[in-house]
Amino acid sequence: MNRGNPPSSAAPSGRRRRGVPPSAAGEGKPPERRRGPHPGGKGKGGRRHRGPLRVAAGIIRDRDRILITQRKAEDSLGGFWEFPGGKLEQGEGYPAALKRELMEEIGVEVVVGGLFATIRHKYPGGEVKLCFLEARIVRGEVQAIDVAAWKWVLPSELGNFRFPPADEPLIKKLQSAPPKSQQTGPI
């Protein structure tokens, strides 16, 4: 669901928020249930997995506006805004993870396009690899299912919202890119 986060607690559903390395899941809190491989943690079968936490996030546009979502207050970095998406599960690729997470979080089906950006970010608890993929909604209306809120914003407005540090390079790239209405070609 969410990504690029510094240490925090688990989501109430028992799922860690996207991008929170397991060693940063919150001090003094009971261990949470984990699904799939996570860097530095144990995956299915008790095997240790190494490497960055892998996250897929969507760049979803409506003309010149971009969809952002707000994390629930009880989640890691509660109240921060982000680009919707989430952690890859074991054996899952980035496009499949993005499709699954968008359906779970905001209730939409998407067609995934090309890679917009890849960002690696180190937090005290581990490293996160974020792959931002272009996506287009093909079915459903955006709704706040597993997010606090959502908004369509212009790239120039992104600076008005509080984002996780891992998203900063992406925001700069989006703000320097020409408006989608001036671009041609597929998503």
> 3-state DSSP call for residue 159?
helix
pLDDT tens digits along 130-181: 999 999 999 999 999 999 999 999 999 999 999 999 999 999 999 998 766 5
**14 CB neighbour count, 10 Å cutoff:** 10
Give the distance, in angstroms, between the CA of residue 163 and the centroid of all CA atoms in the same chain.
11
Domains parsed from the chain with CATH numbers:
22-28+35-180 (3.90.79.10)
pTM for this structure?
A: 0.72
- Tell me how far apart the alpha carbons of residues 117 and 139 are, in angstroms, rounded to a whole number: 25
- Tell me how far apart the alpha carbons of residues 37 and 42 are, in angstroms, rounded to a whole number: 6
pLDDT tens digits along 46-70: 344 578 999 999 999 999 999 999 9
First to last CA, the chain: 22
